[in-house]
Structure 1
Amino acid sequence: MMYTANDHTFAIIAYKENKYLEKTILSVLNQTVKTNIILSTSTPNDHILGLCDKYNIKYVINPNSKGAGSDWNYGYNACVTPLVTIVHQDDIYDDDFAETTLKYANRSSDLILLFTDYYEIREENAVSNQKLLKIKQIMNHLIQYKFMWKNRAYRKFILALGDSISCPTVTINKDKMGKDIFDTTLKNSCDYLTWVLMAKSKGEFIYIPKQIVGHRIYPESATSLNIADSSRSKDDLQIMMMLWPRWLAKIIHHFYVKSEESNKI
């Protein structure tokens, strides 16, 4: 099928009172190609609902949150379009994200998901040449080429080395993958495990080598907090031990953790 703007939804997942939420909302509103937007929250409050009213954004409330995976599933399930991008409440989308995503989706014959490169936002400055970003670019490099889009062995191998896919850059084909795709067993690496499981499916994983999402790094971000208390590291090791012998998983995990140290604040 040929995807149009009507076939894509930004699903913003909001939590408590995040000071960056309005900037995130504006970034998806100001796209060169206007697609659909909804907001999902398990913590309704005046800040979140006030912004939805201000910008006329449809919202849904998850009455039974059981962690990040549960919240992402609720927002994802609420979308009625075939293409869904899960938006984190503190990240920024360049104005050509939707346009670029649709262009690549229309090159696919059997889309599972596509994801883009990204840059970091540190103290309101865009950082595009950080060490971890370079490592992920190398890992994902071959997946930008059409002849590799259906190569399940390669994408499973890459993900076995670590999570090279940044969650807010991902757009999922809901028509193919169905509902409740996100893992709910892990506290912090539910996205990583989800990509690992989806990589086994027949279909196309597409990497867009353009830095068109800004992932914000700051002390209160979920990424920084989870790295600081080592909870994400424990989840990542658990996933790697599903993919490698235990001794080898520990060695790979050691170097993976080292590469993530740049995300510490």
Structure 2
Amino acid sequence: MSLSQECQQPLVSVIIPTYNRPDYLKQAIASAIKQTYRNIEIIVSDNCSTENTQAIVASFEDLRIRFWRHEQNVGMLANQQHAFKMARGKYVASLHDDDIWNEDFLAKLVPILEANSELILAFCDQYIIDANSIINDPGTEKNTRGYKRDKLAKGIHQPFSKIGLIDKSIPTAASCVIRNNVIDWDSIPPEVGGMWDLYLTYLCCISGYGAYYYPERLTRYRAHEQTDTMLSGSRDMQAKIRKAKSEMFCYQVFMEDDRLQQFRVYFQQKWLEANTTLGIGLLRSEQIAVARPYFWQALTKQKFNVRTLVALSLSFTPHFFANKLIELSK
């Protein structure tokens, strides 16, 4: 493509928030630079890493890269939001610092949005890779089926609240291009935390625009030991507590939105499940008195639930046996 043709393409802002993953970050940036769609800016927002992230960025010698480093750790969500607010592109696409894009990711999705101004986003399927960037074929198939992308029709979906918030088919954080000027990035509250991608999907769903599904695996999502779901011990428990709090906040918002009332029962059930998960996390962290109200709330607002009832019972069990039983219930 000639330089004049590249300039005629709309600018796409590639958002890469990062924190202490230098080796993975190199791969992520490289995959952005290698995009066959050339008119991009790459925004690397460093959350006060102890590693020399700026040196990694500089090593690419690509003028399309914009680098920002926070002077202190501001948290994952604030770092992500700051990068989004730096974006100057007509479209934005989030690329985690441990994920990778195929070279034609943007080239296949951006023209779809350009051709239809009534679309807010275009998304695709994804591969699952391990810590060594090797594709996990069984994991990939499980991921596609689990999020029902194997049965999702190619093309426009409008409305798309069900596929976005119920089936969670839209991988907003890694395999999606979004129309930038529709989203108010300041409207994502801090309570969203690690569920920012689901909340962003919610904002897109209620925008009145449509979504387009491109049924091809154009990105590579990394599952490895540094993700929240792969942590162990106390770090694992704190991650689960944070996630449960974020889920409770999100599903509360969704429940109260009149535009989503047809899914209210589902959102309430997810909110109640998050109450129980939070209670179990607090119980395992020995915050017994704090945990019990979440169990009571979950029990009084739903039909009989074994998981919640067992967890509440454990909160009245002698400390030693309670810890043993909780370990067995993982």
Amino acid at match of 2:269: L
TM-superposed CA distance for 1:216, in Å, is 0.5
Of 124-133 and 242-251, the range deviating more from structure 2: 242-251
Per residue, is there more helix in 1 or in 2? Answer: 2
Structure 2 residue corresponding to 1:71, chosen from 79, 82, 88: 79
Question: Helix, strand or coil: the match of 2:48?
Answer: coil
Structure 2 residue corresponding to 1:169, chosen from 156, 162, 175: 175
For residues 115-194 of structure 1, the aligned pairs below 5 Å read: 115-122=123-130, 123-128=132-137, 129-138=140-149, 141-142=152-153, 144-146=154-156, 148=157, 151-152=158-159, 155-166=160-171, 167-180=173-186, 182-194=188-200
| Closer, same or farther: CA 24–138 of 1 in aligned 2, 3 Å | closer
Identity across matched positions, percent: 18
Q: Deviations over 1:169-200 (max 9, x none)?
A: 12221122244354421222121122123211
Unaligned 5+ segments in structure 1 are 254-265
Contact in 1 for aligned 2:46/2:68 (Cα 8 Å): yes
TM-superposed CA distance for 1:249, in Å, is 3.2
State which structure, 1 or 2, has the greater radius of gyration over its C-alpha atoms: 2
TM-superposed CA distance for 1:80, in Å, is 0.8
Question: Helix, strand or coil: the match of 2:225?
Answer: coil
Unaligned 5+ segments in structure 2 are 1-6, 256-263, 275-330
Question: Helix, strand or coil: the match of 2:217?
Answer: strand
CA RMSD of aligned residues (A): 3.0
TM-superposed CA distance for 1:84, in Å, is 0.9
Q: Do structure 1's residue 94 and structure 2's residue 106 form an aligned pair?
A: no
Per residue, is there more strand in 1 or in 2? Answer: 1
Question: Helix, strand or coil: the match of 2:211?
Answer: strand
TM-superposed CA distance for 1:224, in Å, is 3.3
Question: Helix, strand or coil: the match of 2:88?
Answer: coil
Mapped partners of 1:114, 1:126: distance in 2: 23
Contact in 1 for aligned 2:14/2:42 (Cα 8 Å): yes
Structure 2 residue corresponding to 1:55, chosen from 52, 56, 60: 60
Mapped partners of 1:139, 1:181: distance in 2: 32
| Closer, same or farther: CA 119–250 of 1 in aligned 2, 3 Å | same
Structure 1 residue corresponding to 2:221, chosen from 215, 222, 226: 215
TM-superposed CA distance for 1:234, in Å, is 5.0
| Closer, same or farther: CA 62–110 of 1 in aligned 2, 3 Å | farther
Contact in 1 for aligned 2:122/2:214 (Cα 8 Å): yes
Mapped partners of 1:171, 1:205: distance in 2: 10
Contact in 1 for aligned 2:144/2:150 (Cα 8 Å): no
Structure 1 residue corresponding to 2:31, chosen from 27, 30, 40: 27
TM-superposed CA distance for 1:162, in Å, is 4.9
What is the match of residue 112 of structure 2? 104
Mapped partners of 1:23, 1:234: distance in 2: 32
Amino acid at match of 2:34: N
| Closer, same or farther: CA 247–39 of 1 in aligned 2, 3 Å | closer
| Closer, same or farther: CA 126–79 of 1 in aligned 2, 3 Å | same
Q: Do structure 1's residue 14 and structure 2's residue 14 form an aligned pair?
A: no
What is the match of residue 201 of structure 2? 195
TM-superposed CA distance for 1:203, in Å, is 1.1
Mapped partners of 1:247, 1:76: distance in 2: 30
Q: Do structure 1's residue 39 and structure 2's residue 48 form an aligned pair?
A: no
Question: Helix, strand or coil: the match of 1:168?
Answer: coil
Question: Helix, strand or coil: the match of 2:194?
Answer: coil
Contact in 1 for aligned 2:128/2:220 (Cα 8 Å): yes
TM-superposed CA distance for 1:211, in Å, is 0.7
TM-superposed CA distance for 1:9, in Å, is 1.7
Question: Helix, strand or coil: the match of 1:130?
Answer: helix
